[in-house]
Amino acid sequence: MPARALARWLPSALPGTPNRVPSLTSHIAFLVALALIAAIAFLLFPARRVAVVADGVERTVVSHQRSDAAVVRQAGLTLSPGDAVVWQERSDGRPVLVVQRATPVIAEVDGRLVFWRTRADTVDEALAEIGVTSGDGDSLFINDLRVAPWESLARNPAPMVSGAGGLVGAPKADSPTLQQPLTITVRRAVPFTVVEDGHSLNLRSSALSLSAALRENGIILRPGDLVLPDIDAPLAAGLSVYVYHADKVNVFLPEGDTVIYSRASTVEGALAEAGMPLGERDRVEPSRDASLEDGMGVYVFRVDLGKAVEDEEISFETVARADPDLEWGKVRRADGQEGVLRREYDVTYENGEEVGRTLSREWVEREPVDAVVYYSGQDGVSAAGIPDGLQVVQVMHVYATWYNPASAGKPPSSPGYGMTATGVPVTMGIVAVDPSVLPYGTRMYIPGYGVGEAADCGGAVKGNIIDLGYPDGVTPNWSSRWIDIYILGS
């Protein structure tokens, strides 16, 4: 169309003109207007270069958009509900537009499921967005892991495997930013009552089982404890629980030490319950009927009875008897034999060691047999001249010598001249002996000398040697020799 003709046509095509032009003319005019507007916008809003970071990836776009959200969309990113777009400064000082994704969350609370997206930092902040608070004893779980209300709400940008179908507000499956939701479970605590050894406690717990609820509230169970209802019962609101604790008892046995737990009332009952019954004679400390106490020590002594037999020797005596058939001056000896006194005891053993014995009976198992010295002579008159009425208790074979004051080795001027070791003067009947063989005061009969008494000692008188005393002025009629002497009784 010639320009002049176009000039004539345009005014007629504008609104308000009486002439109507074809539809193509209107479209051309509209496009021209848009081009003018775009030119003006290009001049007023020049293009800018923007770095956009989203989902861990940085991309750069050149945009005339004034809206941050529009710039993000121009970068090919889709914003989901709850996402935020903020400017941040990188370490080199350059600004960057960052897309902060909201985390999709499914909450299971109070019998309902709620889906939403959140940029909350902690679990309790996220729940507060849907009007949910956790109370005393409530348990919180993220993906089945128990967490505290103040713990961080972990982000999970991984793509979802399946959608949250049917949940109000859940994104559509074809959403480009679809993520695997975090599952927050709120398990409400329920009240229950525990009567522990007669003391009532009002408690709360969100545990599923009674055992976990007791443990959560610091009630420790030990072997032997009784819990009603059964420890594996599910926890329910208003449940009444009775706990009867067993006492810990340290038991000290001969075969070794052990620890038992029992709810018996007495020591004996606890031992029987643990398979360690007491025997009829067994002793226990404290006593069998002592009340059981937690932490007490019980000492068990296994008691057995036995017999023991002891023999005691009964000494025989030596007696002298006349034998008219013996040659004059000769003696004959008949050996004696000790007797046996037997005693039987009842013996008590504790843990295998003797602790006491009691004499049950005693008897003479064998009578003693006297030793007899037979001498020549008739009854009442001995060839040795032993007077009647004297009891011979022993016969000794000794070597007998003699001495008098003059031969004792001291001059007559000495104050100890003629004195014995026992302080009596030397005379007939004084016999020097070895006191370790014949103690002082021992009376004896020496054939050919008579009756003497051990009252002195001497340097050469050792062992079975005796020295017969004579006074000065008396000629001894004794020759030194071996001889049998007779030890006399009282």
What are the pLDDT tens digits along the chain (490 aa)? 443 443 444 444 444 444 444 567 776 777 766 666 655 655 555 678 888 998 888 898 888 888 888 888 888 898 988 889 999 988 888 899 999 899 999 999 998 999 999 999 999 999 999 999 988 889 999 998 999 999 998 654 433 333 333 333 344 434 444 568 899 999 999 999 999 988 999 999 999 999 999 998 999 999 989 999 999 999 999 999 999 999 999 999 998 999 999 999 999 999 999 999 999 999 999 999 999 999 999 999 999 999 999 999 999 887 667 677 776 545 677 888 999 999 999 999 999 899 999 999 999 999 999 887 776 544 444 445 565 666 788 889 999 999 999 888 888 888 889 899 999 999 888 999 999 999 999 999 898 888 899 999 988 999 999 999 998 878 788 999 999 998 887 6
* d(C-alpha 351, C-alpha 253), whole Å: 9
* d(C-alpha 297, C-alpha 252), whole Å: 7
Are residue 358 and residue 402 in the same domain, yes or no? no
pTM assigned to the model: 0.49
Does 270 map to a domain? yes
Does 385 map to a domain? no
DSSP 229: S
In this prediction, residue 375 carries a pLDDT of 60
CATH code at position 367: 2.20.230.10
Are residue 394 and residue 484 in the same domain, yes or no? yes
Are residue 285 and residue 225 in the same domain, yes or no? no
Helix (H, G, I), strand (E, B) or coil at 90: coil
**176: its two tokens:** 């480009």
Are residue 358 and residue 296 in the same domain, yes or no? no
Cβ–Cβ under 8 Å, residues 117 and 104? yes
DSSP 405: G
Does 10 map to a domain? yes
Amino acid identity for residue 96 in this structure: V
Are residue 177 and residue 197 in the same domain, yes or no? no
Are residue 230 and residue 315 in the same domain, yes or no? no
Does 290 map to a domain? yes
Are residue 122 and residue 84 in the same domain, yes or no? no
In this prediction, residue 7 carries a pLDDT of 41
* d(C-alpha 395, C-alpha 464), whole Å: 12
Which residues lie below 8 Å from residue 222, measured CB to CB, with a gap of 6+?
A: 245, 246, 248, 261
Are residue 131 and residue 218 in the same domain, yes or no? no
* d(C-alpha 346, C-alpha 356), whole Å: 8
In this prediction, residue 138 carries a pLDDT of 92
Does 384 map to a domain? no
Does 250 map to a domain? no
Cβ–Cβ under 8 Å, residues 385 and 322? no
Phi, psi dihedral angles at 327 (to 5 degrees): -65, 145
Which residues lie below 8 Å from residue 482, measured CB to CB, with a gap of 6+?
A: 397, 398, 399, 400
CATH code at position 119: 3.10.20
Does 24 map to a domain? yes
**Structural domain count of the chain:** 7
Are residue 294 and residue 312 in the same domain, yes or no? no
Which domain range does residue 29 map to? 3-44
Cβ–Cβ under 8 Å, residues 43 and 28? no
Strand locations in 218-302 (E): 226-228, 239-244, 247-253, 256-262, 283-285, 296-301
Please provide the size of the chain in residues.
490
In this prediction, residue 117 carries a pLDDT of 93
Cβ–Cβ under 8 Å, residues 387 and 488? no
Are residue 199 and residue 179 in the same domain, yes or no? no
CATH code at position 455: 2.40.40.10
* d(C-alpha 116, C-alpha 274), whole Å: 60
Closest CA to 309 of 341, 344, 338: 344
Are residue 21 and residue 86 in the same domain, yes or no? no
Are residue 67 and residue 153 in the same domain, yes or no? no
Q: Of 74, 100, 126, which residue is a domain's last?
A: 100
Cβ–Cβ under 8 Å, residues 102 and 178? no
